[in-house]
Amino acid sequence: MTPHLRWTPFWVLFRREIKRYLKVLVQTIFAPMISSTLYLLIFGVSLGSQVTVPGGISYLAFLIPGLVMMSCLNNCFQNSSSSIVSAKFAGDLEDLKVAPLSHTQMLWAFAFGGLTRGLTVGTITFLVGELFFYLTTDQWLGIAHPGWLLFFLTLGGLTFAKIGVSVAFWAESVDQLSAVSSFVLLPLLYLGGVFFSVENLHPLWKSVSHANPLLYLINGVRYGILGQADVAVGTAALVAVLALGLFHLLGLWSLRRGPYGRW
Amino acid sequence: MASPLIVEHLIKEYGALRAVDDVSFTLEPGEVFGLLGPNGAGKTSIISTIVTLERPTAGSVRVFGHDVTREPRAAKVAIGFVPQELVNHGFFDVSEVLSFHSGYYGLAHNREREDYLLERLGLWEHRHKKVKQLSGGMKRRLLIAKALVHRPRLLLLDEPTAGVDVALRESLWEFTRELRSEGLTVLLTTHYLQEAEELCDRVGVIHQGRLKQIGDTQSLIASLTHRQVCVQLKEARLPLSHPLLTRQQGCWLEFQLPYNQNLGSLLLEAGLELSALNDLRITEGTLEEVFRLVVGGKV
Ligand SMILES: Nc1ncnc2c1ncn2[C@@H]1O[C@H](COP(=O)(O)OP(=O)(O)OP(=O)(O)O)[C@@H](O)[C@H]1O
Ligand SMILES: [Mg+2]
Residue-wise pLDDT tens digits, B225-235: 999 999 999 98
The answer, yes or no, to whether residue B1 has pLDDT greater than 80, is no
Q: Which ranges of B30-107 does DSSP label H, i.e. alpha helix? A: 43-50, 72-78, 94-104
Residue in B72, B90, B104 closest to A9 by CB? B104
What pTM, to 2 d.p., does this model score? 0.93
How many angstroms is it from B42 CA to the middle of ligand 1? 6
For residue A113, tell me if it sits in a domain: yes
For residue A65, tell me if it sits in a domain: yes
- The count of structural domains within chain A is 1
Cα angle for residues A139, A140, A142 (degrees, 5° grid):
135
- B120 by Cβ neighbours in 10 Å (0-12 / 13-18 / 19+) ranks as middle
For residue A43, tell me if it sits in a domain: yes
Give the residue from A13, A14, A95, A104 with the most B CB atoms within 10 Å of its CB, the best one to mutate.
A95
Split at pLDDT 50, 70, 90, the class of B101 is very high
Mutate which of B39, B44, B189 for ligand 1? The one with the most ligand atoms within 8 Å of its CB, which is: B44
Question: For residues A246 and B56, what is the distance between their CA atoms, to the nearest angstrom?
Answer: 29
What is the pLDDT averaged over residues B136-158? 96
Q: Are strands B252-258 and B154-158 parallel, antiparallel or unpaired?
A: unpaired
Tens of pLDDT, residue by residue over B227-282, are 999 999 998 888 888 999 999 999 999 999 999 999 999 999 888 888 989 999 99
Mutate which of B7, B13, B17 for ligand 1? The one with the most ligand atoms within 8 Å of its CB, which is: B17
Mutate which of B21, B45, B205 for ligand 1? The one with the most ligand atoms within 8 Å of its CB, which is: B45
Percent of chain B with pLDDT over 70: 100
Which of A63-77, A105-119, B3-17, B262-276 is predicted least confidently?
A: B262-276
Whose CA is closest to B51, among B138, B146, B136? B146
On average, the pLDDT of chain A sits at 94
Residue in B72, B74, B103 closest to A12 by CB? B103
Cα angle for residues A15, A16, A22 (degrees, 5° grid):
90
- Furthest CA-CA distance within chain B: 78
Which of A27-41, A204-218, B100-114 is predicted least confidently?
A: A27-41
Give the residue from B104, B143, B144 with the most A CB atoms within 10 Å of its CB, the best one to mutate.
B104
The answer, yes or no, to whether residue A51 has pLDDT greater than 90, is no
Ligand closest in space to the Cα of B19: 1
B225 three-class SS: coil
The answer, yes or no, to whether residue A1 has pLDDT greater than 70, is no
Tens of pLDDT, residue by residue over A111-147, are 999 999 999 999 999 999 999 999 999 999 999 999 9
Q: How far is CA A47 from CA A35, A58, A218, in A?
A: 16, 11, 21
A102 close to B (CB below 8 A): yes
Tens of pLDDT, residue by residue over A219-261, are 999 999 999 999 999 999 999 999 999 999 999 999 999 999 9
Split at pLDDT 50, 70, 90, the class of B163 is confident
B34-70 burial: b if 16+ Cβ within 10 Å, else e: bbbbeeebbbbbbbbbbbbbbebeebbbbbbebebee
Question: For residues B63 and B181, what is the distance between their CA atoms, to the nearest angstrom?
Answer: 20
Tens of pLDDT, residue by residue over A152-169, are 999 999 999 999 999 999
For residue A262, tell me if it sits in a domain: no
For residue A78, tell me if it sits in a domain: yes
User: What phi and psi values does residue A135 have, to the nearest 5 degrees?
Assistant: -65, -30
Residue in B51, B72, B91 closest to A20 by CB? B91
| Per-residue H/E/C for chain A | CCCCCCCHHHHHHHHHHHHHHHHCHHHHHHHHHHHHHHHHHHHHHHHHHHCCCCCCCCHHHHHHHHHHHHHHHHHHHHHHHHHHHHHHHHCCHHHHHHCCCCHHHHHHHHHHHHHHHHHHHHHHHHHHHHHHHHHHHCCCCCCCCHHHHHHHHHHHHHHHHHHHHHHHHHCCCHHHHHHHHHHHHHHHHHHHHHCCCHHHCCHHHHHHHCCCHHHHHHHHHHHHHHCCCCCCHHHHHHHHHHHHHHHHHHHHHHHHHCCCCCC
B164 three-class SS: coil
Using an 8 Å Cβ cutoff, are B204 and B213 in contact?
yes
Tens of pLDDT, residue by residue over A134-144, are 999 999 999 99
A91 close to B (CB below 8 A): yes
Residue of B nearest to A9 (CA): B104
Question: For residues B156 and A144, what is the distance between their CA atoms, to the nearest angstrom?
Answer: 58
- Residue B54 CA, closest ligand 1 atom number: 1
What is the pLDDT averaged over residues B153-172? 92
Using an 8 Å Cβ cutoff, are B161 and B169 in contact?
yes
For residue A59, tell me if it sits in a domain: yes
A204: number of Cβ within 10 Å:
8
H or E element that contains B221: helix B217-224
Inter-chain residue contact B107 with A3, CB threshold 8 Å: yes
Residue of B nearest to A109 (CA): B104
**CB within 6 Å of ligand 1 — which residues?**
B 14, 17, 19, 37, 39-45, 84
Residue in B53, B88, B107 closest to A98 by CB? B53
For residue A263, tell me if it sits in a domain: no
What is the pLDDT averaged over residues A67-94? 96
B26 three-class SS: strand
Question: For residues A76 and A155, what is the distance between their CA atoms, to the nearest angstrom?
Answer: 11
For residue A34, tell me if it sits in a domain: yes
Question: For residues B137 and B267, what is the distance between their CA atoms, to the nearest angstrom?
Answer: 50
What is the pLDDT averaged over residues B7-30? 98
Chain B positions in Cβ-Cβ contact with residue A16 (cut-off 8 Å): 92, 100
Tens of pLDDT, residue by residue over A100-110, are 999 999 999 99
Determine the distance in angstroms separating the CA of A113 from the nearest CA of chain B, rounded to an integer.
15
Percent of chain B with pLDDT over 90: 88
The parent domain of residue A87 ranges over 3-257
